[in-house]
Amino acid sequence: MADITVIHWAGFTAFVLFALALDLGLFHRHGRSVGFKEALGWTAVWAACAMLFAFVVAPRVIPGWRAASGATFLTGYLVELSLSMDNVFVMACIFRFFAVPAAWQHRVLFWGILGALAMRGIMIAGGALLIEKFHAALYVMGAFLVYTGCRMLMAAESDASVEPERNPFVKMVRRFFPMSNGYDGEAFTTRMNGRRLLTPLALVLVMVETTDVVFALDSIPAIFGVTQDAFLVFTSNVFAILGLRSLYFVLASAMGYFSLLKYGLSLVLVFIGAKMLAEPWLKPWLGDSLMHYSLGIVLAILVISVVASLLFGKGGSVESTPEEKP
């Protein structure tokens, strides 16, 4: 779709590292609670950065980047961001389970999302290579998305419980590393009686990282359903993840008001999976306009599910008394 070189990959990676360093080193150097207005502002900043990249910066610095490239990026960005809604809900449950103070949550999210960027980069590279060598993998991904979306549609009310004792990575950490009984501020390790111990906050980080991998099993194939261009897949994914931290603080206490959103997300998965399966027949008929139709349908599904949630949903909040303290 565009003439992407090593320089473009290196430049984008440098921007991401600079933005993360600026975030933790300057704006969130000290642990503190992030308010709704501040979180909403940062969400708008990250969304604006994504749009600036797609429609201002990329067309100027990347040869061959066209309006269709921007539309593809925007579709992938919206798909990843919308599928992250369930991830936000689960992270809120994890923080509630471990009774993590609000002032320390941003630090966990920062390092969790930093790890998610690395893991998703590996998954995207692997997926792109698989599709290049075995194009039929696209149809396998499409069928998987249709199956996953149908399973979500038929599922009963989402189970909001979090059970760290069943997480194999948490079991492994507890088995091989000594643990402290309580927190030591926002530190992941502490020293007691001359021994270096992991704090429960490290377990929270492990939970956040592993649950993100689980969610990526849906979102990565979904974005490959939008485009097989690895650069577009990676950049749209990265911008969505970068905005996920601030989006968490905006939505975590209000997810109960979007009780019907999960049905919209299910339909998005089914639609993208069906599009991947039918694209050989749709592409000759619709041509480049297929992407614009896809973007419109994804947006319509999300808007309708949000409006329906506000009008007909149960309402409520995921915030409640912590279930358990470490």
* Contact assessment for residue 64 and residue 283, using Cβ atoms and an 8 Å cutoff: no
Which pLDDT tens digit goes with each residue over 209-238?
887 777 777 778 888 888 888 899 899 988
Place of tokens 């999976």: 273
Residue 30 has pLDDT above 50, yes or no: yes
Tens of pLDDT, residues 235-264? 998 898 888 878 887 776 666 677 777 788
Rounded to whole angstroms, the Cα distance separating 269 from 113 reads 23
Q: Say how far apart CA 291 and CA 259 lie, in whole Å.
A: 29
What confidence score (pLDDT) does residue 129 get? 84
CA gap 162, 92 in Å, rounded: 10
- Residue 206, amino acid: V
- Per the model's pLDDT, the better-predicted residue between 59 and 141 turns out to be 59
Residues 162 and 90 sit within 8 Å (Cβ to Cβ): yes
Mean pLDDT (the chain) is: 79
**pLDDT at 66 > cutoff 60:** yes
- What pLDDT is attached to residue 323? 44
Domain boundaries, the chain: 6-158+220-312
| CA separation for the pair 326, 261 (Å, rounded) | 32
More confident of the two residues 74 and 213: 74
Q: For residues 108 and 91, what is the distance between their CA atoms, to the nearest angstrom? A: 10
User: What's the pLDDT score for residue 50?
Assistant: 92
If pLDDT is split at 50, 70 and 90, which confidence band does 53 have?
very high
| pLDDT at residue 284, as a whole number | 67
Q: Among 25-29, 62-66, 128-132, 171-175, which range has the highest average pLDDT?
A: 62-66
Higher pLDDT, 186 or 12: 12
Query: What average pLDDT score do residues 102-107 get?
Result: 81
Model pLDDT for residues 295-305, shown as the tens digit of each residue: 788 888 888 88
pLDDT for 40 beyond 80: yes
